[in-house]
Structure formats: C-alpha cells, structure tokens
C-alpha cells in the first residue's frame, strides 16, 4: 500500500510519461509538478517505488518509466476516487450520438468512431447477442415465387436479414399468412423463449413444413447476426504511437484481437460485471502474450446474456482518466440510460 505522498509522485510520473513518452527524472517532477516536497525526497520516493516494482529504469543514466504494477496502482487510485461519467470529455459529442443514431448498428458505428477520436486509440464496440434480444417484428418480403427476404427487428434496435429459397413456388399471400403467424409467436419474446412456447402457442401451424422451414430460417438469421458484429475504429491512431511506430509491432496485436476467443477472454471482466464502472486490464493482465504491451478499458452495455461490450485498446501508456470517462460515457449512450 502506497503512502499518499508516494501515490502523488507515482501519479505525476505517469502523467508526465503519458504526455511525452520519455523516461522521467526527479528534476522534471520537482520542476513541473507541485509535489510539496524537496528534490531529495522525490529522489528517495522514486528509489522506493522502483524497489517496490512500480517503476523501472530502462537505462542506467535514464529516468524512470511505469511498470504494469505502477499503472495498476494508478488506475485503482483513479477508480477508487469515483470518476464521474458526467465529466466525460466532449459531452456535446455524446449528446449528438444520442440524438442522431436511431438504430443500434448505426449507434455502435458512430460511437466507435467518436471513441477513437476522443481517445486517439483503437475503439471496439461489440454487438449484443441477438439470441437473447426480444424480437419486435418479423417481415417476410417476397423477392420471387422461389425466394424471400427475412427482416428481423429486435426491441433494442438491432436489425438482421437473410434470404431464403423455396423448392416450390410460394405465393405472396402465403408469405403474409406465415409472417402474421411468426409475429404472433415471436413478438416480445427472445428466440429461445419463442421456441419453448411454440408447441403450446400454435401447435397446428407447426405441422406445416413451410412454417417449420421459416422458423429455422429465422433462427439462422439470428445466429448469423452474431458473427462479425464488432465495430473497430482507430488502427491508424495506434500506428502513430511511439510504441507501435513499426507496423510489425502492431501486427500480432491486431491478429490477436481478430480471434473471437481472445477477444471474449479480454472482455470477460466487463461481461461478468465484476468491475465497476468498467474493467481495466493492463499489459500482461490480458493473458495473451501478443497483448502484453496494451491496456484495455471495457464496459458492458445492455443486460444479462444479451450484453455487448464497448472498449478502448491502446498502449499501456494511455491517458487512463480520459479513456475511462470516455468508455463510461459511451456505455451510457449505448445502454440508452
């Protein structure tokens, strides 16, 4: 446990390193930060912080830089201080997102772009699972006698569609009848709930092979909608960071983040709701070796099994205060609180 004074020295060193990406010496800290102690005391505190593993000296003659443990102490101190989301940067951008995006997909895309601009890092917004979402409406659009389009709208604003082919000709009035039946069965329910209630709600209709086919096609539409629904913006921002100036340094990170299993593992703290107001994983806390040089700030939006994730990914040398507040604000927008 750090004393208040050493926490202030550590915080000042991290703020300086985040701003300039250069090792920080005791003279810089005493000249630029009102620490209220003598240079000798700052030097002693830096030595103590280094011995405790919070900072390290990359070269004998250089200043110090934070370690993952140092960033962790800094972030825990920030979170314990209760960062208010209302203090989020550029609140006008947040208000604009709420006012202009009427569908969840558009809101996700706009939010991801806004986060990338605000934080100058990579932003990722992962769609909620449509499997758990309640269905508002199903539309069946006849494209020809042998082809139709399923358009499914969820109560949270998600939209999914899928084309279906028929071996035999299907008249538009037949599609209209099945559409009415599907809406009677599905509206206000999740797909899982609808399947459980199907035999009690419309047992006679399920004997019709065409109705059963359309139910399976709706299920396939829902399943497909959950794939590739992550909006990523800001790779170019990462390339401008000193840590990733060489493209090959960023390649393994992007490769890891394209793996759904790795991505879900990185976000699992946010999804299980164990960290409030958001989850922060620093460096090697991410588990994957490729992500040892980045930090992830993530927060869930939505509820239960249908929750999505909004996250910012950047170098461990990120502006945690700004990023945490920006992610929290985006979470509020996406949850429509």
Digit-coded pLDDT (tens) for 295-326 = 999 988 876 556 788 999 999 999 999 999 88
DSSP 88: -
Contact 328, 278 (CB under 8 A): yes
Structural domains of the chain ordered from first start: 4-80 (1.10.10.10), 85-129+228-335 (3.30.450.40), 135-225 (3.30.390.60)
- Please, what sign has the CA dihedral across residues 11, 315, 324, 76? negative
Digit-coded pLDDT (tens) for 274-286 = 666 789 999 999 8
pTM over 0.75: no
Residue 130: both structure tokens together? 């449509």
Q: Is 60 exceeded by the pLDDT of residue 48? A: yes
Sheet holding 159-165, edge to edge: 135-144, 147-154, 159-165
Query: E strands of the chain, at which residues?
Result: 55-56, 65-66, 122-126, 135-144, 147-154, 159-165, 230-233, 279-282, 294-301, 308-315
Question: pLDDT higher for 252 or 157?
Answer: 252
Which residue in 120, 1, 19, 30 sits closest to 66, CA to CA? Answer: 19
Question: pLDDT higher for 109 or 31?
Answer: 31
Q: Residue 54 — pLDDT band, cuts 50, 70, 90?
A: very high
Q: Residue 104 — pLDDT band, cuts 50, 70, 90?
A: low
pLDDT at residue 265, rounded to an integer: 75
Residue 147: both structure tokens together? 């082809």
Q: Is 80 exceeded by the pLDDT of residue 290? A: yes
Q: What is the dihedral of CA 94, 96, 99, 104, to 10 degrees?
A: -60
Digit-coded pLDDT (tens) for 82-97 = 555 445 555 666 666 6
Question: pLDDT higher for 1 or 223?
Answer: 1
């Amino acid at each position: 446990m750090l004393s208040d004074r050493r926490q202030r020295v550590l915080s000042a060193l991290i703020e300086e390193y985040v701003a300039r990406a250069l090792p920080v010496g005791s003279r810089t800290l005493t000249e630029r930060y009102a620490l209220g102690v003598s240079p000798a005391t700052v030097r002693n505190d830096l030595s103590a912080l280094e011995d405790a593993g919070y900072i390290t000296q990359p070269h004998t003659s250089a200043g110090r830089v934070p370690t993952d443990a140092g960033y962790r102490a800094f972030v825990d101190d920030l979170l314990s201080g209760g960062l208010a989301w209302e203090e989020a940067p550029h609140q006008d951008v947040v208000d604009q997102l709420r006012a202009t995006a009427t569908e969840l997909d558009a809101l996700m895309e706009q939010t991801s772009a806004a986060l990338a601009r605000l934080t100058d890092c990579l932003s990722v917004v992962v769609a909620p699972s449509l499997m758990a979402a309640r269905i508002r409406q199903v539309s069946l659009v006849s494209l020809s006698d042998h082809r139709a389009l399923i358009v499914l709208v969820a109560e949270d604003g998600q939209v999914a569609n899928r084309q279906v082919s028929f071996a035999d000709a299907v008249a538009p009035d037949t599609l209209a009848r099945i559409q009415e039946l599907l809406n009677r069965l599905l509206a206000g329910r999740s797909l899982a709930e609808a399947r459980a209630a199907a035999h009690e709600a419309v047992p006679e209709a399920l004997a019709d092979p065409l109705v059963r086919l359309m139910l399976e096609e709706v299920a396939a539409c829902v399943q497909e909608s959950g794939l590739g629904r992550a909006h990523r913006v800001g790779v170019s921002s990462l390339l401008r960071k000193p840590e990733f100036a060489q493209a090959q340094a960023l390649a393994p990170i992007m490769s890891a983040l394209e793996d759904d299993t790795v991505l879900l593992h990185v976000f699992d703290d946010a999804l299980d709701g164990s960290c409030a107001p958001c989850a922060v994983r620093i460096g090697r806390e991410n588990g994957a070796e490729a992500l040892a040089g980045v930090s992830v700030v993530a927060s869930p939006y939505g509820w239960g099994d249908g929750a999505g994730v909004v996250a910012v990914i950047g170098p461990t040398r990120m502006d945690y205060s700004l990023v945490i507040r920006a992610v929290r604000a985006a979470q509020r927008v996406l949850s429509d609180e």
